[in-house]
């Protein structure tokens, strides 16, 4: 198929049609930025050809060199046959207008908290200048720490992860955005390396996939670090620990914001006395909760 395609496909329009057909034939899963075979094909083609990602139309009928056709076909075939998410193929992931370096050392950024940070967490934070210290717990690629720094200019930010390899990726993104003076990267199993520190704001997008869901994940997710996805039998292991420890690390008026996937019902059933505020995102109000320090459960440890 590859050799035949090389001789018969000449324009971006040709390659786009071929890629969509190939992706549909392979029954790929699109959950890491693109929502369809068409969107993913357009992104991969434009990125590979080093063209603006938002300008497909002007280039559709441009004829490509033989080398360019081969380069595009190689990435299409890797996506189709190896089920590698596009972000790992391009080493790039987007959250809104922000681009981040990613590879298989970190999960691909896809957090609803990013949407909330665009609005500086209004109305829950009335004055962004009042946030002087913030923590991004389970930072992964560092993407949310970078967005924290953009939203809260007066804040010094700690960004933690249990994975040394993930922090290497985070460091690259921090340096790319010239934020090394604002973001401090810390290797830590949740709060373990943060004794004595206090924050006006803690955000976290921790692992939250249950064992049952892990077993059923599409092939694309198998390329991501499993420890960054899985959180015990019911998906709440990390969230429980955060809820029971966070009060010790918040200032008096501090806020905790955590993303939990599809676990709202189970969380509310277990912590039935905790007055969660569920924040509205583009997907609804079931995925991200907010708690003030005095609303957090009392630690028993």
Domain check: are 36 and 164 in the same one? Answer: no
Task: Give the domain extent around 181.
Answer: 96-295
State how far the Cα of 259 lies from the Cα of 206, in Å rounded to an integer.
7
- Domain CATH number, residue 42: 1.10.8
- Domain CATH number, residue 282: 3.40.50.150
State how far the Cα of 194 lies from the Cα of 15, in Å rounded to an integer.
51
38 inside domain: yes
Domain check: are 291 and 240 in the same one? Answer: yes
State how far the Cα of 95 lies from the Cα of 281, in Å rounded to an integer.
14
Predicted TM-score (pTM) of this structure: 0.93
* Rounded alpha-carbon distances, angstroms, from residue 138 to 40, 107, 132, 202, 227: 28, 11, 20, 11, 11
Tens digits of residue pLDDT in 179-199: 999 999 999 999 999 999 999
Domain check: are 103 and 81 in the same one? Answer: no
Residues comprising the chain, all counted: 301
pLDDT at residue 291 is higher than 60: yes
Domain check: are 204 and 274 in the same one? Answer: yes
Tokens coding 292: 């003030």
Domain check: are 105 and 68 in the same one? Answer: no
Domain check: are 105 and 83 in the same one? Answer: no
Least Cα distance to 171 among 162, 155, 183 occurs for 183
Domain check: are 32 and 109 in the same one? Answer: no
For 101, residues 6+ apart whose C-beta sits below 8 A from its C-beta are: 91, 92, 141, 169, 172, 173, 176
Is residue 143 within 8 A of residue 106, CB to CB? The reply is: no
Domain check: are 46 and 122 in the same one? Answer: no
Tens digits of residue pLDDT in 25-70: 999 999 888 899 999 999 999 999 999 999 999 999 999 999 999 9
Domain check: are 194 and 216 in the same one? Answer: yes
Domain check: are 62 and 164 in the same one? Answer: no
Residue that terminates a domain, selected from 74, 90, 106:
90
Domain check: are 9 and 36 in the same one? Answer: yes
User: How many separate domains does the chain show?
Assistant: 2
């Amino acid at each position: 198929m590859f050799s035949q395609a090389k001789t018969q496909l000449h324009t971006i329009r040709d390659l786009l049609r071929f890629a969509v057909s190939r992706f549909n034939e392979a029954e790929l899963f699109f959950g890491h930025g693109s929502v369809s075979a068409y969107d993913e094909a357009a992104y991969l083609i434009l990125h590979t050809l080093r063209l603006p990602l938002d300008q497909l139309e002007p280039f559709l009928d441009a004829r490509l060199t033989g080398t360019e056709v081969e380069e595009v076909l190689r990435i299409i075939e890797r996506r189709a046959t190896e089920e590698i998410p596009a972000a790992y193929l391009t080493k790039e992931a987007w959250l809104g207008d922000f681009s981040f370096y990613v590879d298989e050392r970190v999960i691909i950024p896809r957090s609803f908290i990013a949407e909330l940070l665009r609005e500086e967490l209004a109305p829950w934070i009335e004055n962004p200048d009042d946030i002087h210290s913030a923590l991004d717990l389970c930072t992964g690629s560092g993407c949310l720490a970078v967005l924290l720094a953009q939203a809260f200019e007066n804040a010094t930010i700690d960004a933690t992860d249990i994975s040394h390899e993930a922090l290497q990726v985070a460091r690259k993104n921090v340096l790319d955005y010239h934020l090394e003076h604002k973001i401090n990267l810390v290797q830590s199993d949740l709060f373990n390396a943060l004794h004595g520190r206090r924050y006006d704001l803690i955000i976290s997008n921790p692992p939250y996939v249950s064992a049952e869901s892990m077993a059923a994940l599409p092939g694309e997710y198998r390329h991501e670090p499993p420890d960054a996805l899985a959180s015990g039998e019911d998906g709440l292991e990390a969230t429980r620990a955060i809820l029971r420890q966070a009060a010790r690390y918040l200032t008096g008026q501090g806020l905790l914001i955590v993303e939990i996937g599809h676990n709202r019902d189970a969380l509310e059933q277990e912590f039935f006395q905790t007055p969660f505020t569920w924040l509205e995102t583009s997907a609804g109000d079931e995925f991200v909760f907010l708690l003030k320090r005095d609303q957090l459960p009392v630690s028993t440890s």
